[in-house]
Amino acid sequence: MNSTSLLVFDVLLLVSILSLAWASLATRDARNSVILFMAFGLVLAVAWSRLMAPDVALAEAAIGSGLSGALLLAAVYRSRGQQPAAQQQSTGEHNTSAATVAARWAVTLLSAAVAGVLAWALLHASGSAPHDTLPLAIAANLDASGVSNPVTAVLLNFRAYDTLLELAVLLTAVLGIFALGPAAAGYRPAGPVFAGLTRWLVPLLILAAGYLLWAGAHAPGGAFQAGATLAAAGVVLRLAGRQHIGLPAGGTLRVLIAAGAGVFLTVGLVLFMTGRPFLGYPTAWAGTLILLIESAAMLAIAATLVLAFVGGRPQAAGTPAHTAGAKPVPGNPGKE
Amino acid sequence: MNLDTWLPLLVVASSLLPGLIIFFLREDSHRLRTVLNLAGAGLKLLLVGIMIWGVFHEHVYETRWTLAPGLDLVLHADTLSVLFVTLSTVLWLVTTIYAIGYLENSPHRSRFFGFFSLCVSATVGLALAGNMFTFVIFYELLTLATYPLVAHRGTPEAVRGARIYLAYTLGGGMLLLVGTVWLHVLAGPTAFVEGGTLSRLPAEYHQQLQAIFVLLIMGLGVKAALVPLHGWLPQAMVAPAPVSALLHAVAVVKAGAFGIVRVVYDVYGVNFADQLGLLTALGIAAGITIVYGSVRALLQDNLKKRLAWSTVSQVSYIALGTAILGPVGTVGGIVHLVHQGIMKITLFFAAGNYAETLGIHSVSEMNGVGRRMPATTLAFSVAALGMIGVPPIAGFVSKWYLGLGALEAGMATWVIPVLLTSSALNAAYFLPILYRAWFRDPGPAWPAEHIPAARLETSAALLWPPLVTATLALAAGLFAAAPYSPLEWAALIAQREYGL
Amino acid sequence: MLTTQLLYGLAACFIVALGLRTALLHASLLHRVIAINVMGAGVFMLLIAVAYRGPGQQPDPLPHALVLTGIVVAVSATALALALARRLAAEHDDD
Amino acid sequence: MTDAIIWVVALPLAGALAALLLPRLATAVAVGTAVATSVSAAALLRGVATQGVLHYELGGWSAGLGIALRADGLSAMLLMMTALVVLAASIYTSAYITAPAERARFWPLWLLLWTALNALLLSGDLFNLYVTLELLGLSAVALAAFGGKRAAVAAALRYLLVGLLGSMMFLAGVSLIYAGYGTLDMAQLAHMVTAGPTAWTALALMTAGLLLKTALFPLHFWLPPAHASAPAPVSAVLSALVVKAAFYLVLRLWLHVFADVVTPAAANLLGALGAAAVLWGSWQALQAERLKLLAAYSTVAQLGYLFMFFPLLQALPSVTARDVAAGGLVMLALTHGFAKAGLFLAIGIIQQRSGHDSIQQLDGTAQRLPATTFSIALAGVALIGLPPSGAFLGKWQLLAGAVATGQWVWVVVTAIGSLLAMAYIFRVIGHAFGHQSYPNLPVTVAREEWPALLLAAVAVLGLGLAGAPVWQLLEIRV
């Protein structure tokens, strides 16, 4: 791939990304907008791999477009069930009173200005040689970090504190969702084709999650991508009509969603109390500790993302979820 | 525990602490509240006695506490502050006794006496303030402490009167704050030093100093009820009698006048102020207020409103005194600070007695009240005659010195006429009351006779305070030349201010 | 190499502007949530473009970690926003 | 002492997880964590006071590679204020929220919010600040929507969208910084940053994002509904701490990191927006029908005062004058924190007792709750900036700075703002005087009234009289 054909590929890729983004934001119908957004996410994943960022490509595909898309689609169908389609379309784009036209122009100019200033600063910033102090420092300390994949090293060791807080963010999101009310109603049990598909797909996803978790140490992968894949399995089960996706209820569910931040914090504090710096793994133990933290994080992330898709406090097993707009589920106690 | 640094703080705390405790007392624990009040008042009187003796012998008492870099809370006892502290302490003791009698079975008494003590602590703090920063703090605290007292009764008029009072005084407070900050930026932390400190500033600041003076005097003028800023005073008459007595004779009004005296003598220095042409402006404002206040007092039928307008004019005598260049004028102004306090509080006590005992609120209802309540009316007469300037009562002494000072300073051409017209006007609105009270026959029945005529004309706690303050007014006039009398002390202040 | 980093950088600026415009403009909640996600994607592209060091070379791993964290934070925020919207819609029906 | 810097963040997070895992003991766990964290915050403050800036490299990695936590005078003081306010609000909430199910859901979010606040105040790394800002935003939104009333959920949703937009712009700024300077550590950046397109744009983007989160005028529209419809302890923390944490970041960026990039014009713009916020906020507070709306608009106004300090700090010639003015700024921020928290808690008591918080029908309840009304009055005194409150010292420095630099417009705005504040505070207190029956004992609901009263008292007497150490602590800088 000499540089000109690479350039052509880049231009094509960027044109498709920009047009997908534009289309997703411009369409009036919510469902099309979400689907275009998912396509945008996938093409974006291609762009990340083009820019030598495989870990991010995986995450973008699994979380950025996959799970976000699922959440958005669920929201579209749930709200479509309640409001007539027309009312759903009354977006700001279409009443052409003078005020909104002026407002639209003002906002467009403002956004264009922000883009221009950003581009101007970027031109100036990338004018000088790229700053390599940090990448070299990471490379130098990589073997002391207990993993060979530099991205996982940064995530789980050098900037472990960021990841700890990020797991807290996930926990906050799910607790906020729980505080808002009980879960939405489930979906109709799957037809034969879909049921067959789930019988194959779910074990495959679980296997892939396990592989991604393990591979994260030395190749693209890691807790987030593995967690997202596991969550995808959960979403598929939920769509196939299984009410509680095998998630435990009550106390054990609390342990599951608190596992990520909990294990991370306990490891950090134990090290801290034994004289080492907070979250400062001893090099000998670094690998195993990171794996321990990553597996707990995977479970927590998967549970959190599925519960986000479920959309509320899970009902105790067996009691039919009260219908909140979606089609009622004939009460079939979960067979799994 | 050396007394020098703690005495001023103790004087302020002696009413602050009982006040804070009273706030959290149960509503029905009357005895404990009375004991706390009187104990606080008594202790403060004792401490002030020590302070008077000390300051007389050139002893320095000062409490200093840094609030922020360059901003110190300073309580410093000098001759001027001791005068005002003594006045406040004595009159607070008398007013507390009166208030206990007056509010016999009315609600919210814990709240009343709590704020009552806070108000006196603020007044004493303001008197002892050692620099403009501390003065502004206590000036605003005084506003906050007196607002609930004015609104105490809770009637719509009371709340409205309190809101007007607040609007004026907080607005004034803001002007004073901006002026003080500006002064602070120009001349650094301005301590009160006898003879003033601003004369050392270079000439190009003079323009700003004049502007600052206007801001300060307008800020202080609100509380000293100088003419355009006096609107709140008649409105605040809705307050219960002890509060009007305390506000108009001791705390709020005097704080403004005291502030003007401080700014002219201890910040600018009287000669520098005259050099900037500020004194004449102040004098004119005071003169207008004196005459205007007396004229408005004439037209009021409500007794307390008439007394309020009389206060508006009387307090400006003090401002007039400061505007007269020369020690004698200063003595007249400063001694009037005490005399007006004693006389006016007697008048308000008497007015309170009339209202509380016989339900009399306006002058037209006072026919023959002298026969029914001879002692109160006697006290009222002594104070009224004093206000007019009839010797040998205290009022005469201050007016005499003011006149003499004006002559000496060559300002007699307009000061003497002002004094004379105002005295004539005083007579015009006080003498008819006396005539009506003593020589007219009482009507068939009193508007609302709450307390029947028993051995004493009214309850003891209501009767004794006006009699005590009336004798004080008489004594201040008769024994003016005695050592430690208000006149001697004012002379001492003038002597130190002018560095004689 | 420089042109690729710049090319993606400028594209990123355009995406950020696109997302910002729709986020500020649109009345429907769904479009505003998508717009914010698109804007986020633009910022992430900026970071990844900065990290790029050439077709074969090893890129700077730090921005990759930052983007990973950003994606997870974005999805949790989206989840909370949609849950709030759902509760608002449900509340709308009950009252 | 340096250990405290870790405990201050780890304890609330651990408490949140414990409260999540033990739902029945949630309240006890939460109050226990609150006490423990306050003790470690005090230890941190003493550590900073004695040993100067505390610096902790997480994971043992050097600041550029890993993340460094830094506690200087400013952050230690704000941390202590946060700890005291949250401790008081936690005790208040233990009596305010009684249903066990609600408690179990409330406390984890509450402690996560506290974790975010402490992490933000200590973080020395720009991207880490982005993550803490997100954690802060999400937990604040979840708490604002707590209770699920329609108004609260709608306001929380708008708050979330605004917060996300703000965070995205902040992240764009951070990316530019990384592109231009190759590091994310603020201490290193302070030495590397030079005036140029990258620095200006990055600062502009980050500041725009943060101004959205501090709700500075014209970007304040989301704050009043969000703060007014949230439960009382939540609005207390939102107004007193969450908005202030974002302001702290603006202060940190403008005064320490981008000190020589900031131009007087930019500082004056911030000051002008602040002045507009003061006038607009005070005016709206005067019109407010409900107590909570009044308090929320008052927050918009009070933040305006803080932003008015920027042109002064830019124009003041000598370093000492700037330090004294900066001390006034911190004093104003601290006093507003305590006073506003006390005010919201007191309003919560009134709302719980009378079922509404409308100012017109306040008479009955105000007189039956003397301690609550007294707390509102005290908090009001601190919000206006009357002596002896800390805000008085703050406003004194604001006026002194304005007069010294000849920028008279701030003096006029401060005067008008204070007069408006007097109007809207005493409009409320006027209702406390009436003929309703007066309870025998002033304090009726101890566990709710004492926190409100103590918070207001700290704002007025504590900071007012014992405020001198604030200036000494501020000398300790990175």
Residues of D in Cβ contact (< 8 Å) with B153: 433
Contact A161 D135 (CB under 8 A): no
Q: In C, what residues contact D, Cβ < 8 A?
A: 9, 16, 19-20, 23-24, 29, 32-33, 36, 39-40, 43, 46-47, 50, 62-63, 66, 69-70, 73, 76-77, 80-81, 84-85, 87-88, 91-92, 95
Q: B99-124: per-residue pLDDT in tens? A: 888 887 777 888 888 999 999 999 99
Domain limits, chain D: 265-478
Buried b vs exposed e over D38-48: b needs ≥16 C-beta within 10 Å? bbbbbbbbebb
Helix (H) or strand (E) run with residue D311 in it: helix D291-315
Peptide bond into D451 cis (omega under 30): no
By three-state DSSP, how is residue B302 classified?
strand
DSSP A182: B
Average pLDDT score over residue span B327-345: 89
With tokens 């109007």, the residue in question is D423
**Interface-testing mutation among B20, B28, B144, B152, with chain D (most D C-beta atoms within 10 A):** B144
Residues of D in Cβ contact (< 8 Å) with A138: 65
Per-residue pLDDT, C3? 75
Higher-scoring residue by pLDDT: D252, B456: D252
Compute how many other C-beta atoms are within 10 angstroms of the C-beta atom of residue A308. 28
Per-residue pLDDT, B495? 84
Per-residue pLDDT, A90? 43
Say which of A14, A67, A114 has its CB closest to residue C16: A114
Average pLDDT score over residue span D117-141: 95
Residues of A in Cβ contact (< 8 Å) with C19: 21, 25
Which has the minimum average pLDDT: A79-88, A327-336, B32-41, B487-496? A327-336
Contact B24 D443 (CB under 8 A): yes
Peptide bond into A54 cis (omega under 30): no
Per-residue pLDDT, A82? 55
Residues of D in Cβ contact (< 8 Å) with A176: 109, 138-139, 141-142, 145
**Interface-testing mutation among D25, D54, D61, with chain A (most A C-beta atoms within 10 A):** D61
CA distance D178 to chain A (A): 9
Looking at the domain assignment, is residue A251 inside a domain?
Answer: yes
Q: Which domain holds residue C85?
A: 2-94
This prediction has a pTM of 0.92
Q: Which domain holds residue B435?
A: 323-500
Q: In D, what residues contact B, Cβ < 8 A?
A: 324, 327-328, 331, 370, 374, 381, 386-388, 392-393, 395-397, 399-400, 403-404, 411, 415, 418-419, 422, 426, 430, 433-435, 438-443, 464-465, 467-468, 470-471
pLDDT band at residue B460 using 50, 70 and 90 as cut-offs: confident
Share of chain A above pLDDT 90, in %: 40
Residue in chain D nearest C76 by alpha carbon: D138
CA distance D58 to chain A (A): 6
pLDDT band at residue B443 using 50, 70 and 90 as cut-offs: confident
B42 touches chain D (CB under 8 A): no
Per-residue pLDDT, A318? 43
Say which of D10, D21, D56 has its CB closest to residue A258: D21
pLDDT at residue C55 above 90? no
Average pLDDT score over residue span A282-293: 89
Looking at the domain assignment, is residue B182 inside a domain?
Answer: no
**Exposed, middle or buried by CB within 10 Å (0-12, 13-18, 19+), for A253?**
middle
How many interchain CB pairs under 8 A, A with C? 259
Average pLDDT score over residue span B284-309: 90
Instruction: Check: CB of residue A258 under 8 Å from CB of residue A299.
Output: no
Q: B405-425: per-residue pLDDT in tens? A: 888 888 878 888 888 888 899
Q: Which domain holds residue A71?
A: 7-83
Identity of the residue numbered C87: R
Which other chains touch chain D, taking contact as 3+ CB pairs less than 8 Å apart? A, B, C
Q: Considering chain B, what is the average pLDDT of its residues? A: 88
| Termini Cα distance of chain B | 35
Domain count, chain B: 1
pLDDT at residue D189 above 70? yes
Whether residue A65 is found in the same domain as residue A186:
no
- Chains D, B in contact, 3 or more Cβ pairs below 8 Å: yes
Contact D331 B110 (CB under 8 A): no
Residues of D in Cβ contact (< 8 Å) with A272: 3, 6, 10
d(CA C23, CA D162): 10
pLDDT band at residue A1 using 50, 70 and 90 as cut-offs: low
Say which of A125, A138, A162 has its CB closest to residue D198: A125
d(CA A246, CA A334): 9
Peptide bond into B148 cis (omega under 30): no
Per-residue pLDDT, B269? 85
Q: A31-65: per-residue pLDDT in tens? A: 999 999 999 999 999 999 999 899 999 999 999 88
Share of chain D above pLDDT 70, in %: 97
pLDDT band at residue D241 using 50, 70 and 90 as cut-offs: very high
pLDDT band at residue A322 using 50, 70 and 90 as cut-offs: very low
Q: Compute CA distances D430 → A117, B140, C64, D2, D426, whole Å.
A: 52, 18, 59, 49, 6
Contact C38 A180 (CB under 8 A): no
With tokens 């923390």, the residue in question is D237
**Interface-testing mutation among C72, C92, C95, with chain A (most A C-beta atoms within 10 A):** C72
What is the ipTM score, two decimals?
0.89
Whether residue A72 is found in the same domain as residue A163:
no
Which of A48, A83, A118 is the last residue in one of the domains?
Answer: A83
**Exposed, middle or buried by CB within 10 Å (0-12, 13-18, 19+), for B286?**
buried
Residues of C in Cβ contact (< 8 Å) with D142: 80
Contact D200 A121 (CB under 8 A): yes
Whether residue A303 is found in the same domain as residue A184:
yes
Q: Compute CA distances D312 → B183, D301, D305, whole Å.
A: 18, 18, 12
Q: Provide φ and ψ at A88, rounded to 5°.
A: -70, -20
Whether residue A296 is found in the same domain as residue A216:
yes
Looking at the domain assignment, is residue B498 inside a domain?
Answer: yes
CATH code, domain carrying C39: 1.10.287
Within 13 A of D463's CA, how many CA atoms are on the CB side?
A: 39
The runs of H, that is alpha helices, within C1-95 are 2-25, 29-51, 61-94
Share of chain C above pLDDT 90, in %: 62
Instruction: Check: CB of residue C37 under 8 Å from CB of residue A37.
Output: yes
Per-residue pLDDT, B411? 81
Compute how many other C-beta atoms are within 10 angstroms of the C-beta atom of residue B107. 17
Say which of A122, A169, A171 has its CB closest to residue D179: A122
Compute how many other C-beta atoms are within 10 angstroms of the C-beta atom of residue D416. 16
Residues of C in Cβ contact (< 8 Å) with D137: 77
Q: C10-38: per-residue pLDDT in tens? A: 999 999 999 999 998 877 889 999 999 99
With tokens 């995450």, the residue in question is A59
Higher-scoring residue by pLDDT: D365, D319: D319
Domain count, chain C: 1
**Exposed, middle or buried by CB within 10 Å (0-12, 13-18, 19+), for A83?**
middle
Give the closest residue to D54 by CA, choosing from D435, D476, D422. D476
Residues of D in Cβ contact (< 8 Å) with A130: 182
B159 touches chain D (CB under 8 A): yes
C95 touches chain A (CB under 8 A): no
Per-residue pLDDT, C93? 65
Among residues 66-95 of chain D, which lie with CB inside 8 Å of chain A?
66-67
Domain count, chain A: 2
pLDDT at residue A324 above 60? no
Structure-block tokens of residue C6 = 């710049």
d(CA A42, CA D158): 29
d(CA A310, CA A330): 18
Q: A168-210: per-residue pLDDT in tens? A: 999 999 999 998 888 777 778 878 888 888 888 899 999 999 9
